[in-house]
Amino acid sequence: MIVGGALLALMVLFPPWVQTFISESTLSQRAIGYSLLFEPPMPLKNSPYFGVQVDSARWTTQLLVTAMLTGIAYVLLKDSKKEQP
């Protein structure tokens, strides 16, 4: 349970980021890794067309899967402790 909570805390503090490119006819995103939530990474190119944002789909998926696995582990370990004399 402690490990799951620690992993969730780290995932909240260090979300995945994507670099965005937006022009009149193009929108593209490219994963650029993980960075502290309060200090986003700099865009790879210094241009008004480029920016960075949290990869919310990947971030949400990571948090949900980790929370579910932590919950399952908690239930399984809690039940196994009851069976011991």
Domain ranges for the chain, please list them.
Answer: 20-54, 55-85
Amino acid, single-letter form, for residue 2? I
Q: What is the pTM of this model?
A: 0.81
Nearest 5°: the CA angle 65, 70, 74 is 150
At 39, which amino acid appears?
A: E
The 10s digit of each residue's pLDDT in 47-81 is 888 999 999 999 999 999 999 999 998 888 887 66
CB crowding 4-24: b at 16 or more within 10 Å, else e: beebeeebeeebbbbbebeee
Structure tokens, 45: 């190119």
Name residue 21's amino acid.
F
Q: What is the pLDDT of residue 48?
A: 85
Which pLDDT score is estimated for 83?
60
**For position 84, what pLDDT does the model report?**
60
